[in-house]
Amino acid sequence: MLHRSARFALVALPFLIACSSSAASPAAEADAASAQPGDDAATTELPDAAPPDHCAAVTLKSGCDNAGSWVRGIAHFDPARVPAGTLPILRVALRHSFVLASGEETIGGRLHAFLSVPVGDVSTGQVPFVIDMCDGAAMWSEENGAFHVVLILDNNHNNDVDRARTLDEALAASTPDVGELTKVVDVDVSCNAPSPCLDVTLDCADGKACTTFQPITACTKKAPGCKSISAYCK
């Protein structure tokens, strides 16, 4: 069973996400970074949405009625690099390539949507996944730049962002342990293009070094544009 976080409103961890159910400017989101945390967002369950062909069409309805919002893929890994007897969970985070709170540059960027996929059979060396960009409110790449898909094969189950209640907890939950297979890849999610499909090999095991990057500080909107709830690009 796949699990996703429902993020259709500005939830209790405003420094973790850049999305809200009403128009919000990046400046307003930055102000929200100092707000006090409360209860976490609700976690809902998805049916097993990833088809046998990981690039087949997703039959579920996207959160913004545009099938282009789905990011599909398959994560490959070397079973020999998973500790014996371990049943890991694939953590899939869709993050912006900008940051609004200190420390987000070490975890792959501003969190937009999050998914957990239990790995039932390590021996296959692969896990399909599908995550809806519009599960975290519509912020298309035309107005917000490329997303980072952060994939962590969580061996000890300590990378569940949904359990975080503070910024420090969220940063810790978003940081892979040394030895855990990780990968960060860029993807454009466009309202004017088909759903992207990724084929990713998790081959970094250097902990925080795998998810640390240089954030963008500016970007230019792309025509014809999309109806994003907020725009980082000018």
Domain boundaries, the chain: 2-210
Token pair, residue 9, equals 């409103």
Nearest to 111 by CA among 67, 159, 180: 159
- Give 61's contacts (C-beta < 8 A, 6+ positions apart): none
From first to last of the 234 residues of the chain, give the pLDDT tens digit. 444 443 322 223 433 444 432 333 333 333 333 332 322 232 333 334 444 466 778 888 999 999 999 999 999 999 999 999 999 999 999 999 999 999 999 999 999 999 999 999 999 999 999 999 999 799 999 999 999 999 999 999 999 999 999 999 999 999 999 999 999 999 999 999 999 999 999 999 999 999 999 999 999 999 999 999 999 999
Task: Compute CA distances 229 → 11, 140, 181, whole Å.
Answer: 15, 9, 33
At which residue do the structure tokens 């429902």 appear?
A: 6
* pTM for the full predicted model: 0.81
